[in-house]
Amino acid sequence: MPSATSINPFRVFLRHRNFRLFLIGQTLSLIGTWMQSMALGWLALELTNSAFLVGLVVTTSSVPILIFTMPAGAMVDRSDKLRLVRIAQSAFLVNATLLWWLTYTQRITIGSLLALAFVSGLIASVEIPARQSMFIDLVGREDLPDAIALNASGFNLARVVGPGLAAAVIANLGIAWCFFLNAASFVTVLIGLFMIHLPKWVARETAHSPWEGVLEAFRYMRDTPKVRALMTMVTVYSISGVPVLALMPVVAREMFGLGAAGYGLLMSCMGVGGLTGALALAGVGYRFSRIKLLMVASMAWPALLLAFSFTRTPWVAYVLLLAIGCTMILNGAISNGLLQTIVPDALRGRMMAAYGLVVVGLAQVVGAFVAGIVAHLLGVAVSIGGAAVMMLMFGVWAFFRRPELRTL
């Protein structure tokens, strides 16, 4: 077990060279990704003036994940994960460069935006399970939960910095340059990936086909009560809670009357909250029961979202988003860590594919799409508040009426 005496959240970062190289490059790249994410939402809103189509852009990027990520997970379990991540990041670089060029030359249309979003999702369907399942190779099993928490802190640091930078770039240079800077950021992660040295990959012998491997993963989830309960909770909370990010451009404009700068500040507040939660989680290590922390976060997150849906005062929204970001990342990082601790190595790629399918695929294809429709018909506040009520009802049932999650 990792040391219980140190409260340094960066101990895993200092202990493992490969993880340092990965996290530095990944965090710099994620800053560019968040810049692009904010710029995409704003560009879609400018092109269409439709909450539904803003949600559709996010949904389109997630459809390939929903369709292909489980077969991709079976491929990951048979392949060199580091090599797959390098190839996928190179493909992201090409995709971002094309998006910059089309926007810079004013040839971008909602159709080409949707097409590039689909290609990005296709790449992510392979990259997500390969990257997630590679963590154990970077830090080992004992440091895995803390590494996942620290990785989440890098994600949220990027969410703090990225939207603010994007707002400044949009105001001074134009939307296209957010995409250019994202393309450039992929170079940093590729440098780090090519500096990582892992033991030579040895192929596992397997008697079943990739399709049979996918079925094996689904049977494992079905027949393992703790994994089934954890994945069910992740599914409900991802579909109901994550799509608020996709609707944030509409939230900024319709609920608070804000422009691109205000939109960036809303996103940054969520990032600051998430960064705080992730660093705290990495720092506490094993001092506190992670399942109790998960329960608290899972009750607080929807309650805060419900309160957010009723406010129309920007400064109140900023405070609520700090807390929402914290509880959201605690829920996600603890769930991911618990799942990776439970699953056997032979199924790791497929289980991380299933996790990505839920957190990215279902959350955006189902969650963002439905949230966009509800926002279009009834308003964005009703969309967020209704989803929060469903999360809260499920959380009470799952944690207080069922035994599986409490015994993790």
Q: How high is the pLDDT of residue 307?
A: 95
Q: C-alpha distances in angstroms, 383 versus 276, 380, 391?
A: 27, 5, 13
> Above 60 in pLDDT, residue 99?
yes
Inter-residue contact 67 to 198 (CB < 8 Å):
no
User: How many Cβ atoms from other residues are within 10 Å of residue 407's Cβ?
Assistant: 10
Position 13 scores a pLDDT of: 82
d(CA 116, CA 206): 35
For the ranges 197-201, 335-339, 385-389, the lowest mean pLDDT is seen at 197-201
CB 337 within 8 A of CB 293: no
Among residues 376, 370, 371, 363, which one has the least CA distance to residue 61? 363
Contact status, residue 268 vs residue 63, Cβ threshold 8 Å? no
Task: Indicate the pTM of the whole model.
Answer: 0.76
pLDDT range class, residue 287, cuts 50, 70, 90 = low
Task: Tell me the average pLDDT across 291-317.
Answer: 92
What is the rounded average pLDDT of the residues 3-29?
78
